[in-house]
Amino acid sequence: MNAFPSLKLIDGKATAARVLAEVREQVQTLRQGGVQPGLAVVLVGADAASQVYVRNKVLRAEEVGIRSLEHRLPADTTQAQLLTLIDRLNRDSEVNGILVQLPLPQHVDEHCILQAISPLKDVDGFHSENVGGLAQGRDVLTPCTPSGCMRLLRDACGELRGKHAVVVGRSNIVGKPMAALLLQADCTVTMVHSQSRDLPALCRQADIVVAAVGKPKLIGAEWLKPGAVVIDVGINRIEEGGHSRLVGDVDFAAALPQVAAITPVPGGVGPMTIAYLLKNTLLALDLQQQAAHPERTPCLSPC
């Protein structure tokens, strides 16, 4: 039984299940109209963690009725071979989303591979065109983890406008897109990182703290304003009392008494990432249909 008051817990598992149900319903409607969305997942090499991630993504896709096309390639696959596959997937009308599982082997230039994916099929939102589009506030495919965090925040806080959000960590896959999404939601955003001075004082100003660092229990109670909402993206494996377990970047037990709401680790942000990958696959299909028939749908973003 959970010893903590459940009202304060932001339940990522339950929210992800709701997102997946929404996706399943949309897929059903699409399939009734003769369209089955497809997601291609590319894995190069035999990294154990990547294999688990890919298996989960494929399983969840199938559960909601999205066709998953798995491409498992040997670790010595050349960059040219990978580019040829991506080119083929870009042209394949049955593939609406392309995900290349990271990290790639060292001999492959990750940036070059991600740039080769069509921006309209880039369900991870890592292509420069999508990164730039997000910075400009356009309707583009955005990275799954920060998109999932935004859904958790909207559900927990309601209106985000005017809230002061502090994002800890500035990676391309979490911190930076998170800050851009919060800005788009009219938050006042502060980004802090390993070189920032007096992190606790900066975080204490925040109505919302998003932690994406990768340092177990870095953020203690003294970093948090009473009543803050905390989204803990960190996933860290630690040894404690002879057991290995997962913890976030926030000292959960210390933070809980003074926050308004907080995501647990595990069971917080984690489940949202796959849910938003599948949501992005439908968004990608929609963007592709708009691009194929620009006369049908007006440009959504201010041109």
Residues 117/86, Cβ–Cβ less than 8 Å? yes
The stretch among 57-65, 90-98, 156-164, 208-216 that binds ligand NAD (CB under 6 A) is: 208-216
The stretch among 39-47, 178-186, 267-275, 286-294 that binds ligand NAD (CB under 6 A) is: 267-275
Is 155 in the active site?
no
Please tell me whether residue 174 binds ligand NAD under the rule CB under 6 A: yes
Tokens 């069971």 map to which residue?
A: 267
Question: Checking phi first, is residue 302 left (phi over 0); if not, alpha (psi -120 to 50) or beta?
Answer: beta
Q: Give me the count of residues in the chain.
A: 303
Which residue number has the CB closest to ligand NAD? 171
Among 38, 119, 177, 234, interactor with ligand NAD by CB under 6 A: 234
Among 69, 199, 202, 246, interactor with ligand NAD by CB under 6 A: 199
Q: How far is the CB of 4 from ligand NAD (least distance, A)?
A: 20
Please tell me whether residue 168 binds ligand NAD under the rule CB under 6 A: yes
For ligand NAD, the closer of residues 103 and 257 by Cβ is 103
Please tell me whether residue 147 binds ligand NAD under the rule CB under 6 A: no
Q: How far is the CB of 291 from ligand NAD (least distance, A)?
A: 29
Q: Mention every residue, 6+ apart, whose C-beta is less than 8 A from residue 205.
A: 164, 166, 190, 225
The DSSP symbol for 186 reads: T
The stretch among 30-38, 71-79, 86-94, 210-218 that binds ligand NAD (CB under 6 A) is: 210-218
For ligand NAD, the closer of residues 64 and 212 by Cβ is 212
Q: In sequence order, what DSSP letters do the residues of 111-163 get, joined into one string?
A: HHHHHHS-GGGBTT--SHHHHHHHHTT-S----HHHHHHHHHHHHHHS--TT-
The stretch among 21-29, 114-122, 129-137, 232-240 that binds ligand NAD (CB under 6 A) is: 232-240
Is 258 in the active site?
no
Q: In what order do the strands lie in the sheet with 67-73?
A: 67-73, 38-44, 97-100
Please tell me whether residue 235 binds ligand NAD under the rule CB under 6 A: yes
Q: Is 19 helix (H, G, I), strand (E, B) or coil?
A: helix
CA distance 192 to 201: 11
Per CB under 6 A, contacts with ligand NAD among 272-291 are 273
Q: In sequence order, what DSSP letters do the residues of 247-263 get, joined into one string?
A: E-SB-HHHHGGG-SEE-
Phi, psi of 191 (to 5 degrees): -105, 130
Is 47 in the active site?
no
Q: In sequence order, what DSSP letters do the residues of 66-81 get, joined into one string?
A: -EEEEEEE-TT--HHH
Contact letters (x/-) for ligand NAD, 177-196, by CB under 6 A? ----------------xx--
Determine which one of 122, 124, 207, 251 is catalytic.
124
Question: Which residue ranges make up the site for ligand NAD (CB under 6 A)?
Answer: 145, 168-171, 173-175, 193-194, 199, 212-215, 218, 233-236, 269-270, 273
- Among all residues, which ones are annotated catalytic? 57, 101, 124
